[in-house]
Chains A and B, each alone.
Chain A
């Protein structure tokens, strides 16, 4: 079955860029939307953005100026870059698959990213 795994640094300095990668295994990255979602400690879920397998992407307007999501279909991976981070970006970051219905049916286990000097 399809599995997702996030990877990347667990600690990022303020004003720097947070970079994470999600590796898709057990299936193809093609023909789906792939999303990033985050959850600050003890809080709710916030959708960051998605990318389709053809490279088309869309981002949450609240984060749009700082977010870039890219995809590498040859590696079955997609990535998140979030620039100019502050402590407010400290969260567990999840990657997830979004079928055409707009819901998120498969999630990675999540990776905690702390923004601190």
Chain B
């Protein structure tokens, strides 16, 4: 299985901050990467797919980049509703696998 490693595991930030989360794959996955946002007690929500494509309805302050093994999710200006846990997921190889998550907390 492809291992997905996210860093940091948690980050403290303030409203208006720029936040960057990294996801590294144990082998190359081209651009077959998605990012999800999960709030407590809720299902994950798809934010980004194909590494950099914004899912319909997702605010433009979210962006994704990268290919191969290294990927980033950037929130350009953190809003109160963005405090959540973020997961990456690879869809290049079977079985699909997720990163361990990055919790974005209020500073």
Contact A44 B87 (CB under 8 A): yes
Give B43's nearest chain A residue, CB to CB. A107
B11 at the binding interface (Cβ < 8 Å): no
Say which residue of A60, A107, A110 sits within 8 Å of B95 (CB atoms): A60
Query: Which residue in chain B gives the minimum CB-CB distance to A49?
Result: B95
Q: Contact check: which of A47, A101, A109 meets B97 at CB < 8 Å?
A: A47
> A61 contacts which of B46, B92, B95 (Cβ < 8 Å)?
B95
Given A103-B49, A103-B91; A47-B96 close (CB under 8 Å): yes
Taking a contact as CB atoms under 8 Å apart, the answer to whether A45 and B87 are in contact is: yes
Q: Which residue of B has the minimal Cβ distance to A108?
A: B43
- Chain A residues in 8 Å Cβ range of B100: 44
Q: B74-107, CB under 8 A of A: which get 1 and which 0?
A: 0000000000000101011011111111000000
Interface size counted on chain B using CB atoms at 8 A: 23
Majority secondary structure of chain B interface residues (helix, strand, loop or mixed) = loop
* Contact indicator B91/A102 (Cβ below 8 Å): yes
- In this complex, what residue of B is CB-closest to A58? B94
Tell me how many residue pairs across A and B have CB atoms closer than 8 Å.
49
The smallest C-beta distance from A44 to any residue of chain B, in angstroms, reads 5
Any B CB within 8 A of the CB of A104: yes
Q: Does B34 contact A (CB under 8 A)?
A: yes
The reply to whether B50 and A101 contact each other, CB–CB distance below 8 Å, is yes
Question: In the assembled complex, which residues on chain A have CB atoms less than 8 Å from the CB atom of B49?
Answer: 101, 103, 105
Instruction: Give 22 pairs: A residue, B residue, CB < 8 Å, sorted on A.
Output: A44-B100, A46-B98, A47-B95, A61-B95, A94-B43, A101-B50, A101-B91, A102-B32, A102-B92, A102-B96, A103-B34, A103-B46, A103-B89, A104-B34, A104-B89, A105-B46, A107-B43, A107-B44, A107-B45, A109-B42, A110-B42, A110-B43
